[in-house]
A and B are shown apart, each in its own frame.
Chain A
């Protein structure tokens, strides 16, 4: 193992799976790959509706700067309300 030179390891082979220019939606159950256009400041996830502010680490390398607070806050509040209602119904 140690003297063998050319073999590549699992970690090295996984390098091929990296994608640049895209990021994943921060909603962990959604994880949609989003691809902002150059210079975009916000992006809305087409799948789950969450909205994010975009920052650029460098050209071709975007990342999520943070949520668009008002939008995502509203989504969270609606979900929580519904879940609490459903739970109350269950308990009845």
Chain B
């Protein structure tokens, strides 16, 4: 099974290094508007949420594309745009439920995460592991373990409370 980009936004420090390295890796240019990943922020609450393509199984961008320029690459588990076919109509930008399909106004073309052909630079540079590149089943196992830990702790605390009654 191809690996997937997993974003744990709790861990994000909001530094936006992912945006920088994404743009430099793909275009050799520093400019966050060129980045495929983007950190959305609510500074007044200290909330930082990285948004990127989810590489959907039933991808709305793929379905809506009038010239069939978008396809699934099963090997790398990603949805890719064929720029030789793309007409730049931005239907995919409009339909993406995550806003993860971007339109680059400088080069006038749509851009999206391509997982850096299997070595995502955002993951490589994210020292706090807010971004990870993992097998999709590992994601749920990890979350299950966390949730189970919380449940068992809650269970113990409830037990103590009961015993005190």
A and B touch in the complex (CB under 8 A): no
